[in-house]
Amino acid sequence: MSWPTWLTEIRAGAQSRFDAAGFPTPKLEDWRFTNVAPIARATFHASTNGVSHAAEFKHFFFDHAARFVFVNGHFVPSLSSSQGLPAGVYAGTIQAALRDPAQAKVVEKHLARHAEYKENWQSFVAQNTAQFEDGIFISIPNGVVVEEPISVCFIATGDATAAFARVLVVAGDNSQAAVVETYAGNAATFTNAVTEIVAGANAIVEHYKIQQENAAAFHIGQLTVQQQRDSNVHDHSVSLGGRLVRNDLHFILDGSGAEAQLNGLYITGGEQHVANHSRIDHAQPHCPNRELYKGILTGKSSAVFNGGIIVRQIAQKTDAKQSNKNLLLSDDATINTKPQLEIWADDVKCTHGATIGRLDDEQLFYLRARGIPEEDARGLLTFAFANELLGRMKAPEVRERLEKAVRAKLDSRLGTQDSAREGL
């Protein structure tokens, strides 16, 4: 594959960065609770097979007019379509965009320019930057509103397959769009995904990341969002699948009035490990930011939440609220939560909160007293706990799909408390 010179240079630099840093170890503060030794130990290889199996994953696709399917990091044109996009909107593979001189300029300006990898703990981003084969590039011109979400599905198949997913979204000034990323798979694969979103002034972007990979899969994801003045980005992250999942979010509020909302839901069972790390960098004044992450843990699973808010000295009038709530439903589940505030400005309002507990006995009693069996009552309360986040999703088809997926996951985990205890 031939890359333009600028990208070849970046990739070579990233490769040497990755070679120098290696896989992160729990000795690094940022990876203290997430041990990626199973990834580092195993050998994963790129694979072009599996395209023929792609159709098996149809139920993960959305019926959006513009949808793109990748298998093991390779584009599958037969399952994709780019119809129904307003004039001027570009959505296609990064490779294709690089061949189109007009798009290539935009790609050059933004691709691999926002997702950082200079620190040792960011070595997975370096690995992706050095090794991705293709990805999706979405560019929305100034003032254009894309009504229907654009969906991208990344499928990983075959044991020991390494799949690199790369997404670049550039939303122009006053534009509006929604992008849905879905990750699915059927084997012990390793997915390393990097998404970069650039939101221009006044742009409104809604981003979904739905992670439903195989219970043996590894998933490491990085989302970097660069926000200009008065832009508005809502991110929804739902982690249901995978054996070891880590999501890193980095929001840079780089224009005054930029607003970010981060919603996250993780439901874990068995021996799953899900880590969500967010960093919100208030680089300019007057930026509001809301973050709500909720977790439901069963079996022997473990989860990590680490939410950092940095308020720079000039970022006066920052208004940041962060909250992490966790339900522990089994004796063997573990949660590590670490909200973090770093504040260098004085005229700010920042709060964070974290709670960890089980279902409220009084709420259970209320339902039981009204004749609802205990099992149903537990199911109801647990779903309600998760539903707060689903209710925030604006795209109805995504919300409905996830309601079903969440119910299915909760039923399989909670169906009976005993089966959860047995490590189901």
Query: Whose Cβ is closer to other proteins: residue 63's or residue 346's?
Result: 346
Q: If residue 233 lies in a helix (H) or strand (E), which one and from where to where?
A: strand 232-239
Site pattern 298..317 for other proteins (x: CB under 8 A): ---------------x--x-
Q: Which of 64, 337, 393, 402 contacts other proteins by CB under 8 A?
A: 337
Which residues are 208's β-sheet partners?
180, 236
Distance in Å, CB of 225 to other proteins, minimum: 23
Query: Whose Cβ is closer to other proteins: residue 348's or residue 395's?
Result: 348
For residues 225 and 197, give the distance between their C-alpha atoms in angstroms, rounded to a whole number: 5
Chain centroid to CA 256: 25
120 binds other proteins per the rule CB under 8 A: no
351 binds other proteins per the rule CB under 8 A: yes
Q: Which of 96, 216, 356, 424 contacts other proteins by CB under 8 A?
A: 356
Q: Which of 63, 331, 362, 418 contacts other proteins by CB under 8 A?
A: 331
User: Is residue 158 helix, strand or coil?
Assistant: coil
Chain centroid to CA 216: 18
Which residue stretch of 162-170, 240-248, 354-362, 394-402 sits at the interface with other proteins (rule: CB under 8 A)?
354-362
Query: Quick one: which of 220, 262, 250 has its CA closest to 131?
Result: 220
Distance in Å, CB of 346 to other proteins, minimum: 4
- Residue 321 identity: K
CA distances from 197 to 96, 118, 386 (A): 19, 19, 26
Size of the residue set binding other proteins (CB under 8 A): 35
Query: Whose Cβ is closer to other proteins: residue 72's or residue 326's?
Result: 326
29 binds other proteins per the rule CB under 8 A: yes
Q: Which residues have C-beta within 8 Å of that of residue 116, sequence separation ≥ 6? A: 122, 125, 224, 250
355 binds other proteins per the rule CB under 8 A: yes
Distance in Å, CB of 297 to other proteins, minimum: 8
User: What Rg do the C-alpha atoms of the chain give, in angstroms?
Assistant: 21
Query: Whose Cβ is closer to other proteins: residue 189's or residue 301's?
Result: 301
Q: Which of 216, 354, 372, 380 contacts other proteins by CB under 8 A?
A: 354
Distance in Å, CB of 313 to other proteins, minimum: 7
Asked if 175 and 147 touch (Cβ cutoff 8 Å), the reply is no
Distance in Å, CB of 247 to other proteins, minimum: 19
Query: Quick one: which of 233, 153, 225 has its CA closest to 185?
Result: 153
Q: Which of 9, 19, 147, 342 contacts other proteins by CB under 8 A?
A: 342
Q: Which of 335, 389, 390, 410 contacts other proteins by CB under 8 A?
A: 335
Q: Around Cβ 279, how many Cβ atoms within 10 Å?
A: 18
CA distances from 314 to 181, 282, 345 (A): 34, 9, 6
Q: Which of 1, 83, 101, 346 contacts other proteins by CB under 8 A?
A: 346
User: Is residue 232 helix, strand or coil?
Assistant: strand
Asked if 121 and 30 touch (Cβ cutoff 8 Å), the reply is yes
Q: Which of 339, 378, 398, 406 contacts other proteins by CB under 8 A?
A: 339
Q: Which of 82, 336, 363, 387 contacts other proteins by CB under 8 A?
A: 336
Phi and psi angles of residue 404, each rounded to the nearest 5 degrees, phi first: -65, -45
User: Is residue 57 helix, strand or coil?
Assistant: helix
Q: Which of 129, 189, 330, 382 contacts other proteins by CB under 8 A?
A: 330
For residues 124 and 4, give the distance between their C-alpha atoms in angstroms, rounded to a whole number: 23
Q: Which of 11, 290, 338, 368 contacts other proteins by CB under 8 A?
A: 338
Question: 110 is written with which tokens?
Answer: 């933004």
Q: Which of 329, 395, 398, 405 contacts other proteins by CB under 8 A?
A: 329
Q: Which of 357, 369, 370, 371 contacts other proteins by CB under 8 A?
A: 357
Distance in Å, CB of 29 to other proteins, minimum: 7
Query: Whose Cβ is closer to other proteins: residue 340's or residue 412's?
Result: 340
Query: Quick one: which of 232, 211, 207 has its CA closest to 220?
Result: 211
326 binds other proteins per the rule CB under 8 A: yes
103 binds other proteins per the rule CB under 8 A: no
For residues 414 and 424, give the distance between their C-alpha atoms in angstroms, rounded to a whole number: 10
Question: 65 is written with which tokens?
Answer: 């007019």
Binding site for other proteins (CB under 8 A): 29, 313, 316, 326, 328-358
